[in-house]
Amino acid sequence: MRRFILFTYLLILSAVTNAQLSFYKEPYRPQFHFTPPINWMNDPNGLVYLDGEYHLFYQYNPMGIRWGHMSWGHAISKDLIHWEHLPVAIAEEKDTMIFSGSCVVDSFNTSGFAKEKGQVPMVAVYTGHIEGKNQSQHIAYSLDKGRTWTKYEHNPVLDLGKKDFRDPKVFWYAPQNKWVMAVMWPVEKQVQFYQSKNLKQWELMSRFGPAGDTTGIWECPDLLQVPIEGEPGKTKWVFMHSPAPYMQYFVGEFDGTRFTNENPSQKIYRPDYGPDYYAAITYNNLPANQPPLTIGWANNWNYAQDIPTLPWRSMTSLPKTLSVKKINGEWILIQKPVKQLESLRTAHQSWTSIKTKGAYKIPAGGQSIELTLTLTPAANSTSGIRIAKGNNHYFEIGYDAATNSVYVDRSRAGETGFSAAFARMNRYEATLGSRTKQISLHIFFDRSIVEVFANNGEAVLTTQLFPSPNNTGMELFSNSAGVVFNKVEFWKIKPAW
């Protein structure tokens, strides 16, 4: 078995080495979203920055295109846009799969893993999964900036003897000089907070939950401090996680021991209101002047293993910055695409002051594009834009003035026969927190994924679609002549690979 696994990893390494030459031209393959060269991926793991490199680890099956044999895949980037694939970082071994977790830079060598002057350990904290039997928290370390990894010889470092106990997010809490771990009890729908001085011994501090959305199991926690928009120097704490198959967040305070929610406890707040956003976590060890950064898995467990892509399956969302803003007395998470994406723009066009009742064809198009759209709605109107249009198919992004909601509809966007669940899950919406005179939409369309940012990131909707490659048209639409499309800007996006 060990020889077979070694042979498989050598094949994967060969594929990684040649990925940018032989792959990334397949139907539906995104051109500026991260995908592995081949095989299955899901949750982003271990997001960490060190010495000019953004590390992206992720749940990866080195042996196939469906979930299984979970290990940590690995890629690095200097700008969050162009990624270099590296070999599998932490591999499944014997009966223990490598489930989700986080990565930290142990600058003070609290773990003692650094033995020579100048060494700075990177420490991965992950769930060791024994199918149907046990989940416990393990660590591994790297002394060469993440290129090679050694599993700690005394793993696990936290074991409660539970079958479901997973997804540790660890960060350094400077006010008390300690490490904090958020880790899930999925079935009980509860997060537990632990503390440690050395990443090896952990002490329970407090619990949070159940709260908000309790319809699905709870997974993939993250606890982080974010800036308040428009209030320099002021911050709030955000706890976000994934009640399958979606996500939710809470905003409040963390005192080093307990998290306290300050939003209405009965209301559900989602970082993304589309069907395809899950398991997002944020980067550790970012430079002091850089806002929090997050990346999510752009898929849905109801159909993730059946989407019609080869030889890879699944992608990540675009990287986004985070802040919070108080709207109507509630703390709302604000998400914006990273500015680095602007470096991929080309073929800019713009149009202003368009009125139409019905449809208005835009003389541009494509399937790797960016759009910004500002419109002034009329009372009780429905208006917006259709992309991936052709042969009576399109993907619709709209604003419903009667309900003050932004929506996406993929029911006519393309291929759906691969999954009854996908075909059924076609329309999603987000109610905006406040009514504004103008509605702004920032849209990224990348072959098989659309990400919509409404009103400067107040609401986000991420959606997969599988259109014919010939469907590249665009049109504005409105059911009222009173709607004004104040400005539409368009860019084609260059491939990042």
CA distance 127 to 158: 9
| Both structure tokens of 381 | 């109107």
The model's pLDDT over 243-265, given as tens digits with 9 standing for 90+, comes to: 999 999 999 999 999 999 999 98
Contact between 33 and 315 under an 8 Å Cβ cutoff? The reply is: yes
Contact between 384 and 377 under an 8 Å Cβ cutoff? The reply is: no
Average pLDDT over residues 371-388: 97
Q: Map tokens 């806002």 to a residue.
A: 291
Q: Map tokens 């260059």 to a residue.
A: 494
The model's pLDDT over 153-166, given as tens digits with 9 standing for 90+, comes to: 999 999 999 999 99
| Both structure tokens of 238 | 């955000």
From the list 43, 213, 222, 276, the catalytic residue is: 43
| Both structure tokens of 105 | 């830079």
The model's pLDDT over 276-294, given as tens digits with 9 standing for 90+, comes to: 999 999 999 999 989 999 9
Residues with Cβ < 8 Å from 281, sequence gap 6 or more? 43, 44, 45, 47, 102, 169, 220, 222, 294, 295
Contact between 242 and 278 under an 8 Å Cβ cutoff? The reply is: yes
The model's pLDDT over 192-212, given as tens digits with 9 standing for 90+, comes to: 999 999 999 999 999 999 999
CA distance 474 to 434: 28
Could you please report the per-residue DSSP string of 330-386?
EEEEEEEE-GGGGGGEEEEEEEEEEE-SEEEEES---SEEEEEEEEEPPTT-EEEEE
> Catalytic site residue 43?
yes
Q: What is the pTM of this model?
A: 0.95
The model's pLDDT over 56-108, given as tens digits with 9 standing for 90+, comes to: 999 999 999 999 999 999 999 999 999 999 999 999 999 999 999 999 999 99
Please give the share of the chain, as a percent, with pLDDT higher than 70: 96
Q: What is the DSSP code (8-state) at residue 108? A: T
Give the mean pLDDT of the chain.
Answer: 95
| Both structure tokens of 315 | 């992608």
In the prediction, which pLDDT does 266 show? 87
Instruction: Establish how many alpha carbons lie within 13 A of residue 54's alpha carbon, considering only the half-sphere containing its beta carbon.
Output: 19
Contact between 138 and 127 under an 8 Å Cβ cutoff? The reply is: yes
CA distance 15 to 12: 5
H or E stretch covering 11: helix 2-17
Q: Within a 10 A sphere around the Cβ of 261, how many other Cβ atoms?
A: 19
In the prediction, which pLDDT does 6 show? 46
In the prediction, which pLDDT does 12 show? 52
The closest of 47, 48, 168, 22 to 98, measured between CA atoms, is 168
CA distance 4 to 6: 5
Question: pLDDT confidence of 435, banded at 50, 70, 90?
Answer: confident
In the prediction, which pLDDT does 240 show? 98
The model's pLDDT over 400-421, given as tens digits with 9 standing for 90+, comes to: 999 999 999 999 999 999 999 9
In the prediction, which pLDDT does 4 show? 47
The model's pLDDT over 291-313, given as tens digits with 9 standing for 90+, comes to: 999 999 999 999 999 999 999 99
Q: Dihedral through CA 99, CA 185, CA 271, CA 268, nearest 10?
A: 160
Average pLDDT over residues 315-323: 98
Q: What is the DSSP code (8-state) at residue 316? A: B
CA distance 302 to 284: 30
| Both structure tokens of 448 | 């098989």
Distance from the first to the final alpha carbon of the chain: 34
Q: Is the pLDDT score of 8 beyond 80? A: no
The closest of 479, 489, 463, 327 to 399, measured between CA atoms, is 479
CA distance 332 to 324: 5
| Both structure tokens of 425 | 């899950």
CA distance 445 to 19: 23
Q: Is the pLDDT score of 16 beyond 80? A: no
Q: Strand ranges (DSSP E) for 61-111?
A: 71-77, 83-90, 97-105
Out of 2-11, 179-188, 230-239, 438-447, least confident range: 2-11
The model's pLDDT over 452-472, given as tens digits with 9 standing for 90+, comes to: 999 999 999 999 999 999 999
Could you please report the per-residue DSSP string of 241-280?
EEETTS-EEEEEEE-SS-EEE-S-TTS---S--SSS-EEE
Q: Is the pLDDT score of 1 beyond 50? A: no
Residue 178: Cβ-neighbour burial (10 angstroms; 0-12, 13-18, 19+): middle
